Structure 1
Amino acid sequence: MRRTKAEAEATRSRILNAAERMFYAKGVSNTTLEEVAKAAGVTRGAIYWHFANKTDLFLALYDAVPLPQEDMIAREIEAEASDTLAIVESATADWLDMLAKDEQRQRILAIMLRCDYDSEMSAVLDRQKEIDERHDAVLERAFARALERGQLQVTWTPASAARTLRWTMMGLCTEWLLFGRRFDLAAEGRDALKHLFASFRPAHPTETAA
């Protein structure tokens, strides 16, 4: 039984690796499951054993690229006397560092950005909406905590700060991945975040009791 499980997992991994290569080279819409099966060295039936359809296969790749460390942010912002904005800035900057070094993560994100989200792929948009809402909720809580502690400039609301940070991250990643990696994502991304977070901070921060 153990061997069967291991073999099934190995087959699933081969299918995912082949899908990643094919989707990256041809795009999701232009790639058939037959082509993925051939590239993986398996039958089409083997694909259907592991994935209901191409959308399910795409979502499995999608899940391989988690967002910045939500659990860590949610946990650490509750620490008394913590610099909430520093925690969020560090987590997002570290994620850019990780992307700059991880070629597989780069390929999967590029596939997502290039994908034509037609009716076949509408489930992916639903998943993206769920993830965005969850991620925004974590960030909004962090910025609300910063506001309570006098660490957030009052001209920002927690919601507007969270959205602006997400848009900044998406803009950086999109331009870097789709337009030839023309800048140093890790270094220039950190610099952009530094300036953005400086705009979040009040000129004269005042700590309030947690």
Structure 2
Amino acid sequence: MFFLKTEPITELKLIKEVPFPSDVTFRQLLISGPPGAGKSTLVRMISGWSEEGYVDLAANKWWTAQCLSLRPREIHLGLPFEGFKQSLAIFEREWTEADPPLRLELDRIRIPPVKRHFWSVNWHKRYVFEFILPPVDTLYRQRMKRGKRGTHPVDKGVTEELVRRQILTYSMIAHHLQQSGLSVYVREGTDQPPMRIVGLEND
């Protein structure tokens, strides 16, 4: 399995006492990641939009979705997989119970266009994606603890292997979006600094 290779971002600024890359503005932020990673917590920490959003990255002009007009906010991602015409979120049964695991179809992901005219919107730079990607064992413990409270149905029956697959999938998406020219960075937790993606490495 391949996970992200990262390095520290040295130029930072604080938003509500949370470190962010210095070139990121408050209203650009879209925060994503696997279940239990801390997305809602981070949004609350910086006084962002409280409601979750959903974006299908394979949908035509997903970057114009109404839910993205309110930022910063947490977003769940619909992703394209082989054998499925419709995108899936990684907490849906079709994905979690698939055997063998479903394969991402990265070439179906649509990338926002660059600014071509003075009067056009620069969709390519409109958003900054932050992916919260904790270590597998850390996220598994967090979800087991949360699962005992029974507050989130997605934690029912969670396994360490499922958590590993979810982190791997989001790592691949983060890398793909960055390689496509979008602004993307990651952090391992809400109490951790942002990191720059420099490649993929074998687990």
Higher helix share: 1
**So what's the TM-score if we normalise by structure 2?**
0.25
Higher strand share: 2
**So what's the TM-score if we normalise by structure 1?**
0.24
Structure with the bigger RCO (C-alpha within 8 Å, sep 6+) is: 2
